[in-house]
Amino acid sequence: LQVCKPFEGHSGTISSITFSCDGRKIVSGSDDETICIWDAKTGLQLCSPLKGHDDWISSVCVTPNGKWIMSGSADHTIRLWDIETGSPVGNPFKPHSKSVTSIAISPDGKRFMSGSYDNTLFIGDVGVLQIENSSDRGHTNTIHSVAFSPDGKQIVSGSRDHSVFIWDVMTGTQVRGPLKGHGDVVSSVAFSPDGTKIASGSWDKKICIWDAKTGAQLGKLVGHRAPILNITFSQDSKQIISGSSHMAVHIWDVNTGVHVGKVFEDHKLKVVAGRAVSSDGEQVVLGLEDGAVGIWDTKTGFQVGSYLKGHSEPVSAVAFSSDGERIISGSADNTICVWDAKSSLQLGSNLKGHTDWVRSVAFSPDNGRIVSGSFDHTIRLWNAKTGQQVGFPLRGHTGLVFSTIFSPDGKFILSSSSDMTMRLWEAEPDNLEHVNFSSTAEHSLCKAADLFFGTTFSEENWRECVELNSDGWIIGPEGRLLLWVPVPFRKLLHTPATVLVLPQPAVELDLSMMAHGNKWMDCFTNEKGL
C-alpha cells in the first residue's frame, strides 16, 4: 500500500535513494545534480535541494549517527553534507579519475568505500572528508598565481576559489589565510619590493592591498572595466601597475589608493594573459590573442618599435629579463620565443619541448636560465643563451601548470597548478655530485664506457630511472610497472627534484621495508610455517 503521495522535487531521474538510520528521513540523488532530504511520514522536503555537484548523483547514503549525508557523482567527487542544515561539510574529495558509481559507509561510521568507472575501489576515512579537506588546508580550486617575498622566506598564492594565502617556505605551513576580499578568480598576486605589502588582482576588476605581516586588508583599488590579468609593484613600492583583458594599463598610488594615470586603453586588441613590466617600470610588454607581442612606454603610452611576431597562436605569458635587454614569450602554440627588447628581433628559433599550451615563463635572477610551465603538467628549464633544454622536465603536478617563478636567490622554482597544489623544486636538479657504477646494465643511467671518451650527457643519452604516468603507475626502465599510486595521493606525491609540496602534509614513498631481489622469498610461508 502507498503510505503517502509521491515525493516531488527533482527535475531529473532519481538515481539513488536511502533512509536515515532512524527511518525518519529519506535522501534522494538525481540526474539533475541535486540531493533532496524528505520527511519519511509526510513526504515534504525538509530543506532546499543540496547543490554542489557538477554532474548526476550516482549514490547517496547516511552515516550511522544520522548526522551526515555522503554523495557520489559522475563529476568524480564525493561530498559530505549536514543532514539538518543541508550545508556542505568540508570540500569535495576526488579519489577517482572517472565517475563515482557507488559509495558505502562502514557500520561504525568511521570508514567509507567507493567504486568508480576507473575500475578501482577506494577505502577512506570519513574524517578525511570532514576535517582534512576543509579550507584550513589551503586553496580549494586552481592556483592561478604565486609570488615570493623579497627575502624568499614566504610565498603568496591566489586562486580560482577567490582567496589569497600566505605560506612559510621552510615549513610549508600557512602563515595567513584565507584572505578574502575578492568576488571572482584571483588572477595575479605580488609582494611589494620592501616586503611590507601584498597586492592581488582579480577577475572581479578590483585590486586588494594587504598587510604582509597581519593579512589585514589595507585598501581596494577600483577602476578597471574588465577582468584584471596582471599586477606588479614599482621598484620603490609606491605604485602598482595593473593590466586588464581590455588592453588597459593603469597606475595606482599604493598609500592613497588614488588612480594616478592610465598608460593606454585599446579595446580593439585583446590580451590573453601575458603581461610584464620592466624592472625600471618604464616599459610594459603584452602578449596578444593574435600571437603577437607588443612593447609600450609607460610614461607616454606610445608603442615602442613594431610588434614581435613569432608565434602562431595566442601569447599567454611574457617576461622581461632583469636588465631589460631581453623578453621571453610563451604561447598556445606550445613554444617559447626569446626577443631582443631594443631591436625587436627574435634571438634564435622557437624553443620546443612542451606538448601543450605554455602558460608561464620567467627568467632566473641572473638571466642565465628560463623556466616555463605548461598545460602538459610539466615545468621545463632552458639555457637562456643557447635555447637548449636543461635536464629533464620536472614532473609531479597532476593538473595544468599555471604559474612558475624563480626564488630570489635562483636556487628554487615555485609552480602552481589546477591540482590545487604548489611545488617547490630544485632549480639545478641535475648537478652531478657522485658517480657509482652498476654491474646491472638496466640499472644504469648511461653507458659507463662512454665516460672514457668524454661524452657529455644530456636528455638524448641519459635515461630517467622512474617516471610517474598520468594513470598513476610509476614506470621503471623499459616501461616496467613498479608501483601504482592511488588518485588521492598523486597530487601531493614527492617526485624527483621536488623540495616541498603545498599544502602539507605531502605524500612520500617509503621503500625501506620493501621486499625485492632474493627477499621476495621472505614473503612466502608454506603450510608448515617455513
Are 90 and 230 found together in one domain? Answer: no
Are 296 and 196 found together in one domain? Answer: no
Are 74 and 32 found together in one domain? Answer: yes
Are 306 and 411 found together in one domain? Answer: yes
User: Which of these, 44, 75, 46, lies nearest to 59 by C-alpha position?
Assistant: 75
Count Cβ neighbours within 10 Å for each residue of 276-293 and write b for 16 or more, e otherwise: bbbeebebbbbbbeebbb
**Mapping DSSP to helix (H, G, I), strand (E, B) and coil, where does residue 293 land?**
strand
Are 284 and 418 found together in one domain? Answer: yes
Are 477 and 369 found together in one domain? Answer: no
Predicted pLDDT at 383: 94
pLDDT, tens digit (0-9, with 9 covering 90-100), for 497-523: 777 787 766 677 777 777 766 666 676
pLDDT, tens digit (0-9, with 9 covering 90-100), for 181-225: 999 999 999 999 999 999 999 999 999 999 999 999 999 999 888
pLDDT, tens digit (0-9, with 9 covering 90-100), for 259-269: 887 666 554 55
- Say which CATH number the domain at 144 has: 2.130.10.10
Predicted pLDDT at 264: 61
Domain boundary among 371, 396, 426: 426
Are 155 and 194 found together in one domain? Answer: yes
Rg (CA), the chain: 27
CB-based contacts of 486, cutoff 8 Å, min separation 6: 95, 120, 122, 472
Residue 297 has pLDDT above 70, yes or no: yes
Domain tally, the chain: 4
Are 81 and 118 found together in one domain? Answer: no
Domain boundary among 265, 289, 305: 265
Are 261 and 277 found together in one domain? Answer: no
Alpha helices in 242-333 (DSSP H): none
CB-based contacts of 168, cutoff 8 Å, min separation 6: 153, 154, 174, 175
Q: How far apart are CA 79 and CA 97, in angstroms?
A: 15
pLDDT, tens digit (0-9, with 9 covering 90-100), for 1-12: 556 667 788 888
Domain membership of residue 419 (yes or no) is yes
Domain membership of residue 101 (yes or no) is no
Domain boundary among 55, 73, 94: 94
Are 281 and 206 found together in one domain? Answer: no
Are 389 and 287 found together in one domain? Answer: yes
Q: How far apart are CA 319 and CA 303, in angstroms?
A: 17
Domain membership of residue 435 (yes or no) is no
Residue 274 has pLDDT above 90, yes or no: no
Predicted pLDDT at 56: 92
Q: Which domain holds residue 221?
A: 106-265
- Say which CATH number the domain at 25 has: 2.120.10.30
pLDDT, tens digit (0-9, with 9 covering 90-100), for 468-485: 777 778 887 677 787 788
User: For cell 664506457, what's the residue?
Assistant: 449
Average pLDDT, the chain: 82
Mean pLDDT of 44-69: 90
Q: What is the pTM of this model?
A: 0.68
Instruction: Decide: 167 and 502 in contact? Cβ < 8 Å.
Output: yes
Are 172 and 87 found together in one domain? Answer: no
